[in-house]
Structure 1
Amino acid sequence: MGRKENPVVRKVPAVGRLADFQRAWRATAGLTYEDLAHATGWSASTLRNAASGRRPPRRDVARDAVTHCGGPEQEAIALWRQARYYQRLADRPRPQAPAAHLVRTVVDLAALVEELYEKNGAPSMSEVEDRTDGRLGHSTAHRLVTKRTIPADRDQFEAFLDAVEVHEPLRAQCMEAWDRVITLNGPVRVQRKVPHLWRLRQKLDLLRTVDDLVAELGVLRTMAGSPTDAEIADRTARIGGIGRWAPQTIVTQIMAGQRTVDLFFGSVLDVLGVPSDEQILWRQAGQRVLSEDRAPHELPPLGRTVTDSVEMLG
């Protein structure tokens, strides 16, 4: 009879859970570490350390320790990723990255890239290159995961998502995040790499008056089936819930080009079928048109000079 195994170390709970999983499947299979070593090719001491809970083992060690006992490979890998993620987080604490749908800035996107890499178990740069068939080289991958740069274009980001094994629906959210960041912050040469957003921006940049804006909103209404203001208001409640319900009076104001910068504008655009990344451009265009339209008609308050008003506006 072998010596009794030491209790699992639980300093990092996720690492302890992975150790428990390995031990449970080895017990189910009725194997000793020596038996498992013979089956897997790993040494008994390596397998014993892998199930100790002190540190996460290599991915292939954890996988083999479970699958050779009849356990599920994907669950073993998922537990290994969690163990590796939380161990690295314990070793080097860092601020939490925003969720993909909340990413708005270049800094946000860089943090998201790092988070996706860490959640995949922080594979080596050689692994990253192999998983992408060379589409993402060592140096580029390293610059991405260390937040020195963001993906240069959609193809490079797609390659990175392949490397860190991001699947739907998160994959689509990540690509929307890249589009959104480039739309809001990217230079023109990069924005052109998102063709549908670039074309929309060019079109909206031509809007000069409220009448122009109203005409374009009318096109959206027609494409959405020509709903009335009352129907749009009703649909905002059904799509976004009571928190994003736009009353009919507000819908009328929006469709007349009188308000474009608040939450209600987003609700109406949702009803009219405008994707979230395109809504940013609509909001920017609406704000610009309204500010340009009002500027010539606004007079300084009585008792103040024009100079005073300019100073107040910065």
Structure 2
Amino acid sequence: MRRFRMLALGASVLALVVSACSTGGGSSPSASTAKPKVIVGSANFPESILVGEIYAQALEAKGFSVDRKLNIGARSLTNAALKSGQINLMPEYIGSDAAELKATPSGDPQKTWDALKAALDPLGMTVLNFAPGADQNGFAVRKETADKFTLKTMTDAAAVANQLKWGLPPECITNPSCGKALKDAYGIDVTKVQWVKLAPCSAAIAVALNTSKVDVAELCTTQADIVRFNFVLLQDDKQSQSADNMAPVLRKDLAAAGGAELTDTLNAVSAKLTTDALTQMGVKVSVNKEKVENVAKQFLQDNSLT
């Protein structure tokens, strides 16, 4: 399940201007009013805010009027906002949202998406195509470690697990997505390897990996530190972690009113949101301190989505 980052982000997170869309050019007032108003929300961390802004700009380019209610808060708050109609669209992580709604996520993104869709249906909501990009629990090594042991996958790491020092969550032994998942999928017994207790997806665990205090670290798969320190993210080749691919979750009434133009636009965005694209944009926002609006605009332009 996706965990919130502990990466230092400076004095404040991000402030986004709520703006109305102007159809401009040759669009007629009747054409504008024929389209439903989109109210995009997001969770309160940079990646969710960024993808929410990408959705907003992509839809504005198609003539939709878009309001932004980004940086709302935790999933319990965003789901409540969707149910009440305070927002009608937001980026989600399929595994985490499925678990929140008491569905059962798995390492298979299609099965996880199916479970989420079924859980959303009675709530008057639905989910569109999931992106290839996922922000989920993963394991990374330094490049020299990957080269030394020829590590590309977690299966490779399992073969030399006892020669590596692992950076793992303090509760790893009792956490099903950590100790049990590693044992069941890869035969890695965390009680028999060297490991250091470190918060996953944190700045501290990334620094520990970079300074060789650990050799393997549990990071989030789009964590900016992976690019910043040139880590090698190991492929979870046996799908030990719940799939947390990104996907647009929206109210059914919006999907019906927006029709194919709305859903096709959002699906086209999702198709371009790879794990690498999310990571690179995360570096721009969280490390380089570029404006979310500018990063979103550049992504859409680079992928011919506007």
TM range (shorter): under 0.3
> Which of the pair has the greater relative contact order for Cα pairs under 8 Å at 6+ separation?
2
TM-score (norm 1): 0.27
Q: TM-score, normalised by structure 2?
A: 0.27
Larger helix proportion of the pair:
1
